[in-house]
Amino acid sequence: MTEPDPTVDAAIRMRGITMSYGSVQALTGVDLDVAGGHLMTLLGPSGSGKTTALRLIAGFDRPDAGSIELGGETMVGPGAFVPPDRRRVGMVFQDYALFPHLTVARNVGYGVAKRERPQRVREILELVGLSGKAARLPHELSGGEQQRVALARALAPDPRVILLDEPFSNLDAALRARVRNEVAEILRRSGTTAIFVTHDQEEALSLSDTVAVMHDGGIVQTGTPTEIYHHPADRWVAAFLGDADFLPGRADDGSVTTSVGVFPSPHRGSVTVMIRPESVAVRPTPDGTAIVTRREFFGHDQLVTIGLPDGSVVRARLGPAPFLRPGDHVDITVDEAATFPGVGAH
Amino acid sequence: MAAVAPPGVVPTPKPSVQKPRRASAALWAAAIAVTLPGAAPILHLLWTVVKPGGFDAGGISATRLLQLFGSTTLLVGSVTATALAAGTATAWLTSRTDIAGRGVWSTLVSLPLVIPSFVGALAMLGSSGNGGLMSLALSAIGLPRLPVFSGFWAAWGALSLWNFSYVHLVTTPALRRMDPSLEEAARGLGATRWRTLRDVVLPQLRPALLGSSLLVALYVISDFGAVSLLRYETFTRAIYTQFRGRLDVTPALFLSGILVAGALVLVLVEQRNRGKASLAARRPARPPERIPLRGARRVAAYGFLTTVVIGGLVLPIVTLGWWAMRGLSLGNVFDPVWAEAARSTGVALAAAAATVAAALPLAILTVRHPSRPAGVLESISWSTYSLPHLAVGLGFLTLSIRFVPAVYQTVVLLIIAYMAMFLPQALSATQAGLRQVGPHLEDASRGLGVGALATLRRVTVPLVWRSLLAGGGLVFLTVMKELPATLLLRPTGFETLAVRIWSASSELFYTQASVAALVLIGISAVPLYLLVTRDR
Amino acid sequence: MRRLPALVISLALVVAACGGSGDDGAESTTTTTAAKATATTAASETTTTAPTDEPGEPLVLYSGRNENFVQPVIDSFTAATGIEVEVRYGGTGDLATTITAEGESTPADVFWAQDPAFIGGIAKQGLLAELPADVLGMVESRYADDDGQWVGITGRSRVLVYNTDLVLEDELPDSVWDLVEPEWDGRFGVAPTNGSFVAFVSAMVLVEGEERTLEWLQGIAANDPVIFDGNGPIVDAVVAGDVDAGLVNHYYLLQRIAQLGEVPARNHFFPPGDPGGLVMAAGAGVLVGSDQQEAAVELIRHLLSAESQAHFLTLFEYPLVDGVAAPEGQPALAELPTLGISLTDTADTLEPALRLIAEAGLT
């Protein structure tokens, strides 16, 4: 089997995908590009259409309009539809969908041609670190192990693309981070193009090369994790990706002045200024103009809510020190802020 | 029907909306092909009735027809209600309380299904009246003899006793699989046990209750043997007498058409009201609590179960045994029924296998790719199920003699007829199994590059085989008991146990009839026992 | 465990296939074809006329008479001629309707009915062949079809069976018309769906006309009769005392007595001229579509042979061949009233009779 050329064969291209169920519009005019060998995450709340998009790529559903190409070959288009068993797309389901009546080895080897099966199963089990469990049945494994079997099974037939639908949501929180990294590591090692689907922003930001944020059936922003975090396209994305506070301001001549400082802004006129709690520094001082109204302590850090003299509210994420209490006077400085045109909720 | 969740399957959390995938042409072709035999008798009926002179009630006045319709409705309604109450009660007692020997009771209460209702009615007659077994027993201890069991109450009793097990068999697994946290929540909010039962438990049981009550209702509508022996005049009886007398079958078919229309109403009502509640797929995290029964309640529970088992199982078998012995002691000879037993068993097994295989494409179509046309196919199979077996037999007789005479009066035609009549039994069991397994495993298989047919073989069938077996078992039991279509379509000389019982009893050779009936019951008990205990 | 279903199914198909052909030599007592062994040994001794049509094909008999009644006679036929017979048992009405539905493609060669009206109906459709004169000549002409398409094999009389403890001698009715009177309210049973009853009503229509017959039927229906599905259950009920009396055929009670010993019940024959005293012939005919006409006629000849007729006597039916005796304790055939009707004509009144029974609300 020739190694797939990551730059061409594994690329995914979706154009103009529209899909509705009855009266519900699941996807409207979605365009998406995924480069070969990349890990892309579709991030969005439930109902945003991300699982639908995944199922369309896999071939389990057919869009009302639009086209999908994998590695340059048309899978879905006007008059064309390749069924799921011929797309060479691997899928890891949210509940793993392991065949309960087959052993780990038979599950993993399920999609592999008979002749290559023993060899390939051995390789893949080693890759995911489950070599000793080949003869077990799925219900005899832990959640994390089942996860890895699901991944192994999807990888074994050497797919062009692997799709993962909220793969970590069934794991305990403690396990999640560790398994996440392991899976990302495995995928990088195998060099397979992968699309994750999740509603967990932490997951999306930590794992992916690229993130596509989805909202109400459309993609609202695509970019690297850093880009979308620090420069969200609009207020909704900003709020979805992490904690943020918003202040109104007026932009003029490349900058906007607010009660907490002056920031660059490419816009003109009324703007909304977004401040992330981690960009806020706090200095307790008896004659500070800002007042602490609330403090949430998390052990390794704290989130402090601060009321400003003009009535606006800003939160600051600090290390465990200093020890602040509601009512303390502080001075705050904001390192950076993003701006969006317009005032009010987007 | 009793269908079991495969071990270790974690059911998919359903996405909020899911559009069913389009089915392949091959699947449609298969589903249509298996529905065709069912459509044949319906088409024959329509064709006969639609001709000029087709609307012929054979001289029965409209008033009398209404009267018969009324008496039938009364019987259907009362039997269904009784079966629902009794079957739910036994299911609840054997799966939710702490009475002793629950498993044994559950099996015993399911066993009455092996007794064909006309045999049960025969036993009922044999135990009542001046010469009956119970009368003799009673008079031996000085009590007055029983009057002959006949009329409405006898018919109600007979049909309730030998059909309530359907409700028990379907409701028991549903009760076992319910999530106890819902009931606990209700109790925590102050609801009494009764109110919990009414507001929380029964609504969850709705699909099971509706489905099984439909089976019972349709059976009662089509029953002829029991009501004629017990002398209760129903619509179906009128149909059979029209056939027996006339050389022209039009009135029999016309009346059958009316009956089917009525039955279809019931089918539609059930489908509408089945509700979106899917049969609980998940095994709850903990088993539901066992309700303790104390004192009078406990005694009443045992009493109820004992009465049901005696009436439905012990009494008929004892009566038949007594008849056989009495006849033997008087020197009556009977022929061993080994050949009939072999024929009955063989054809029932073959029919069960064929029907289960046929149901599979239709089940897949209606569960994985539901659509209006798929629903129409399913309705066709239910229509044939509701058709009096006599009309089905006539349809196949006429059509085969006209178009395929080589197959007339052969076992092949008989099996096709059974398949046409009993497809819904296998269908609903298979549908239940498919619903529990869910499409995501099949999707996973397809995603791994395995085609549709191979996925069926490697993933679907291995996971639903228990449901297939349940459906097959039900078909086996029903075919063993079948009489009218068998009489018409069987190859000359191909006497089954049911035919033997009928001919022997109609000529008063009760020894022979009893022996054959006991053999039939014995053979039928085997698959029923397997079905019931497998579910544990 | 995996292979079990497949094994079971193949076994089932094998068993069903074997059972279906119906020609197993092994189960000699229950199959309806005579054992090959007896046939082959008998064939070498036989001197009766061997048929000249298709050799090796079994004869198909549709019989409205039950197996116990028929089988010994069939066995002796096969022993005598070497011709095998496959018998299809069923109700006369059912079989008649089946033959009608089958039409000329019917696999049946001979139809032996319980009652004249139904076989007459088949004759009217032109489905029966004319029997040779010598066969017809073996019985009195009134017990055969006027056009020679069927011949009576045995006779039966309609009677009122009654329980001797519950019905006094002077209460016994002189006519079926007595049964519509109040003193018989709720005391008797009828089987309105039974072929003999229908034949009896057909005869009544010939004797009394449709209007009067309807009057009688309605009178019966209004007199709270106990409705049964067949003659047997009526006799059982009368013997047990669950019902006082019932309209049945004469031989049922006699068979019961033979089975159970003495019982408190007797047959009451209606006086001459009353339709209740109808004597009917159970007849047999050869189907026009049969490709074994000669063998079929042979079978009918055999049914009329002295040997067979004597056998029918042991089952308490009236042999119809001249010169054979009557069942023990019953009036001789010659003494029974004739009503002056032709049994053949009951075929014409069959349809009206059925409609009248339905109209009276008895079905």
DSSP B254-270: HHHHHHHHHHHHHHHHH
User: Do chains C and A meet with 3 or more Cβ pairs nearer than 8 Å?
Assistant: no
| Judgement on whether residues B251 and B146 belong to the same structural domain of the protein | yes
Is there a contact between C102 and B401 if contact means CB atoms under 8 Å apart?
yes
Give the CA distances from residue A339 to residues A43, A314, B150, in Å, rounded to whole numbers and listed in that order: 22, 15, 90
B119, part of any domain: yes
Regarding predicted confidence, which is higher, B133 or B527?
B527
Q: Do C166 and C119 share a structural domain? A: no
Over range C128-136, report the average pLDDT.
91
Please indicate, yes or no, if residue C234 is contained in any of the structural domains.
yes
What's the average model confidence in pLDDT over A157-165? 89
Give yes or no for residue B367 having a pLDDT over 70.
yes
Q: What is the pLDDT of residues A229-256, one digit of tens each?
A: 888 888 889 888 888 888 888 888 888 8
Residue B201 has pLDDT above 50, yes or no: yes
Q: How many CB pairs below 8 A link A and B?
A: 87
Give the residue from A45, B397, A63 showing the smallest Cα distance to A54: A63
C201 and C350, same domain (yes or no): yes
Q: Residue B2: which pLDDT band, with cuts at 50, 70 and 90?
A: very low
Alpha-carbon dihedral angle through residues B445, B448, B452, B455, given to the nearest 10 degrees: -40
Query: Closest residue of A to B20, CA-based?
Result: A61
Dist. CA B354–CA C305, nearest whole Å? 48
Residues from chain B that touch A47, judged by Cβ atoms under 8 A, are 16
C307 shares its domain with C345: no
Closest-CA distance of chain C to residue B288, Å: 32
Nearest CA in chain C to B58: C355
Report CB contact under 8 Å: A96, B450. Answer: no
Q: How many residues in chain C?
A: 363
Higher local confidence (pLDDT), A191 or C40: A191
Pick from A199-208, B80-89, B281-290 the range whose average pLDDT is largest. B80-89
Instruction: Tell me what the mean pLDDT of segment A271-288 comes to.
Output: 88
User: Does the pLDDT of residue C22 top 60, yes or no?
Assistant: no
Cβ C231 vs Cβ C196: under 8 Å = yes
B447 and A138: CB-CB below 8 Å? no
d(CA B380, CA C290): 38
For residue A309, give how far its alpha carbon lies from the nearest alpha carbon of chain B (Å). 46
What are the residue ranges spanned by the domains of chain A?
12-88+158-235, 243-341
Residue of C nearest to B252 (CA): C97
Higher pLDDT, C51 or B379: B379
**Residue B418 belongs to what H/E stretch?**
helix B411-437
Task: Summarize the confidence of residues B132-150 as an average pLDDT.
Answer: 75
Does residue C10 lie in a domain region?
no
- The pair phi, psi for residue C325, each rounded to 5°, is -75, 180
Inter-residue contact A304 to A292 (CB < 8 Å): yes
pLDDT for the residue numbered C327: 73
Residue C99 resides in a domain: yes
From B405's Cα to the closest Cα of chain C, the distance in A is 8
Of B26, B41, B7, nearest in space to B421 by CA = B41
- Partner-chain contact B60 C358, CB within 8 Å: yes
Same domain, B46 and B95: no
* pLDDT for position C138: 87
Q: Which of B413, B507, B432 is closest to B470 using CA atoms?
A: B432
Supply the DSSP symbol for C141: G
Do A12-88+158-235 and A243-341 fold alike per CATH? Answer: no
Rounded to an integer, the average pLDDT of C166-194 is 89
Residue of C144, C179, C134, C177 whose CA lies nearest to C281: C144
Residues 6+ apart with CB under 8 A from A303: A243, A277, A295, A296, A315, A316, A317
Angle, vertex CA A238, rays to CA A237 and CA A242, nearest 5: 110
Residues 129-188, chain A, touching B (beta carbon < 8 A): 137-139, 153-154, 157
User: How close is the nearest chain C Cα to the Cα of B469, in Å?
Assistant: 9
Residue A329 pLDDT > 80 = yes
Mean pLDDT of C57-66: 90
Range with lowest mean pLDDT among A58-72, B466-480, C339-353: C339-353
pLDDT given for residue B18 in this prediction = 52
Residue B288 counted as domain residue: no
Q: Residue B341 pLDDT > 90, yes or no?
A: yes
Cβ contact, residue pair A111, B446, below 8 Å: no
The arithmetic mean of pLDDT across residues C180-186, rounded, is 90
Q: Which residues of A touch B449 (CB under 8 A)?
A: 85-86, 88, 111, 157
- Contact flag A84-B6 (C-beta cutoff 8 Å): no
B316 and B392 part of one domain: no
For A166: left if phi > 0, alpha if psi spans -120 to 50, otherwise beta; the answer is: left
Residue B308 has pLDDT above 90, yes or no: yes
d(CA C304, CA C243): 37
Return the number of other C-beta atoms located less than 10 Å from residue A223's C-beta.
Answer: 17
Q: Where are the beta strands (DSSP E) in B94-237?
A: none
Q: What is the pLDDT of residues B250-264, one digit of tens each?
A: 888 898 998 888 888
Establish whether this prediction's ipTM goes over 0.90: no
Residue B303: predicted pLDDT = 93
- Pick B8's closest partner by Cβ from A84, A139, A157: A139
Are C136 and C181 members of one domain? no
Q: In chain B, what residues touch C351 (CB-CB under 8 Å)?
A: 246
Tell me if A193 sits within 8 A of A162, measured CB to CB.
yes
The answer to the question of residue B421 being in a domain is yes
Which of B345, B408, B415 is nearest residue C15 as measured by Cβ atoms? Answer: B345
Q: What is the CATH number of domain A243-341?
A: 2.40.50.140
pLDDT of B130: 62
Helix/strand/coil for A5? coil
User: Same domain, yes or no, for B371 and B391?
Assistant: yes
Residues B443 and B306 in one domain: no
Give the C-alpha separation, C114 to C280, whole Å. 9
Question: Residue C84: which domain range?
Answer: 32-155+280-333
- Within a domain: C344: yes
Structure tokens at C162: 């009654």
Picking from B220-229, B297-306, C278-287, which range would have the lowest pLDDT averaged per residue? B220-229
Report the pLDDT value the prediction gives residue C78, as an integer from 0 to 100: 92
Residues B27 and B66 in one domain: no
| pLDDT over 50 (residue C184) | yes
Cβ of B342 within 8 Å of Cβ of C260? The answer is no
pLDDT tens digits along B454-464? 999 999 999 88
B28 and B66 belong to one structural domain: no
Q: Are residues C239 and C150 both part of a single domain? A: no
Q: Does residue C14 form part of some domain? A: no
Chain C residues with CB under 8 Å of B59 CB are: 354-359
Q: Is residue B518 part of a domain?
A: yes
pLDDT score of C295: 92
Structural domain including B195 reads 61-279+302-329
Q: Which CATH number covers residue B45?
A: 1.10.3720.10
B244 touches chain C (CB under 8 A): yes
* Chains touching C by CB (3 or more pairs below 8 Å): B
Examine the domain organization and report whether B493 and B346 are in the same domain.
Answer: yes
- The CA distance from C333 to C313, in Å, is 12
Separation of alpha carbons A47 and A25, rounded Å = 10
The pLDDT of residue C13 is 52
**Once rounded to an integer, what is the mean pLDDT over residues B23-30?**
88
Q: B283 falls in which pLDDT band (50, 70, 90)?
A: low
CA distance B125 to B229: 8
Which of B19, B441, B463 is the closest to A61 by Cβ? B19
Q: Which of B386, B421, B166, B426 is nearest to B265 (CA)?
A: B386
Determine whether the interchain pair A101/B6 forms a contact, defined as Cβ–Cβ distance below 8 Å: yes
Residue C111 shares a structural domain with residue C208: no
Q: Does some domain include residue C4?
A: no
pLDDT, residue B426, reads: 92
Q: How many domains does chain B have?
A: 2
**Residues C169, C267 within the same domain:** yes
Q: Do C67 and B503 touch (CB under 8 A)?
A: yes
Is the domain of C256 the same as that of C170?
Answer: yes
pLDDT at A149: 93
B440 and B534 housed in the same domain: yes
Residue C43 has pLDDT above 60, yes or no: no
Confidence of residue A346 (pLDDT cuts 50, 70, 90): very low
Contacts of B444 in chain A (CB under 8 A): 91, 93, 97, 99, 153
pLDDT confidence of C10, banded at 50, 70, 90?
low
CATH of the domain at C350: 3.40.190.10
Please compute the mean of the pLDDT values over residues C245-258 and round it to a whole number. 89
Query: Residues C79, C41: contact at Cβ < 8 Å?
Result: no
Q: Which chains touch B (3 or more CB pairs under 8 A)?
A: A, C
Q: How many separate domains does chain C show? A: 2
| 8 A C-beta contact, residue A10 and residue A187 | no
Q: Does C252 share its domain with C294?
A: no
Residue C248 and residue C161 in contact, taking contact as beta carbons nearer than 8 Å: yes
Give the pLDDT score at B19. Answer: 57
What one-character-per-residue DSSP string does C201-267 give? Answer: HHHHHHHH-HHHHHHHHHHHHHT-PEE-SSHHHHHHHHHHTSSSEEEEETHHHHHHHHHH---SEEE
Cβ-nearest to A85 among B18, B446, B462: B446
Interface of B with C in 431-470 (CB under 8 A): 469
Taking the CA of residue B140 as centre, how many other CA atoms within 13 Å lie in the half-sphere pointing to its CB?
7
Q: A139 — alpha (psi -120 to 50), left (phi > 0) or beta?
A: alpha
Distance from CA of B11 to the nearest CA of A (A): 8
Binary contact (C15, B487; C-beta < 8 A): no
Domain at A12-88+158-235, CATH homologous superfamily: P-loop containing nucleotide triphosphate hydrolases (3.40.50.300)
d(CA B474, CA B530): 11
3-state secondary structure chain C: CCCHHHHHHHHHHHHHHHHHHCCCCCCCCCCCCCCHHHHHHHHHHCCCCCCCCCCCCCEEEEECCCHHHHHHHHHHHHHHHCCCEEEEECCHHHHHHHHHHHHHHCCCCEEECCCHHHHHHHHHCCCECCCCHHHHCCECHHHECCCCCCEEEEEEEEEEEEECCCCCHHHCCCCHHHHHCHHHCCCEEECCCCHHHHHHHHHHHHHHCHHHHHHHHHHHHHCCCEECCCHHHHHHHHHHCCCCEEEEECHHHHHHHHHHCCCCEEEECCCCCCHHHCEEEEEEEEECCCCCHHHHHHHHHHHCCHHHHHHHHHCCCEECECCCCCCCCCCCHHHCCCCCCCHHHHHCCHHHHHHHHHHCCCC
Q: Are C244 and C166 in contact (CB under 8 A)?
A: yes
The average pLDDT across B297-302 equals 90
Range from A174-183, A221-230, B120-129, C320-329 that averages highest in pLDDT: A221-230
Q: Is residue B147 located within the same domain as residue B47?
A: no
Question: Does A24 lie at the interface with B, CB-CB under 8 angstroms?
Answer: yes
Chain A residues within 8 A of B447 when measuring between CB atoms: 58-60, 84-85, 89-91, 111, 154
Question: How far apart, in whole angstroms, are the C-alpha atoms of residue C15 and residue C9?
Answer: 10
CA distance, residue B462 to nearest chain C CA (Å): 10
Average pLDDT over all residues of chain A: 86
Mean pLDDT value of segment B344-367: 95
Residue B330 is nearest to which of C93, C240, C259, comparing CB atoms? Answer: C259
B328 lies within 8 A of chain C by CB: no
Residues C303, C164: one domain? no
Residue C5 lies in a domain: no
- In this predicted structure, what is the pLDDT of residue A68? 93
- Chain A residues inside the 8 Å CB shell of B450: 85, 110-111
Set of chain B residues whose Cβ sits within 8 Å of the Cβ of C256: 508
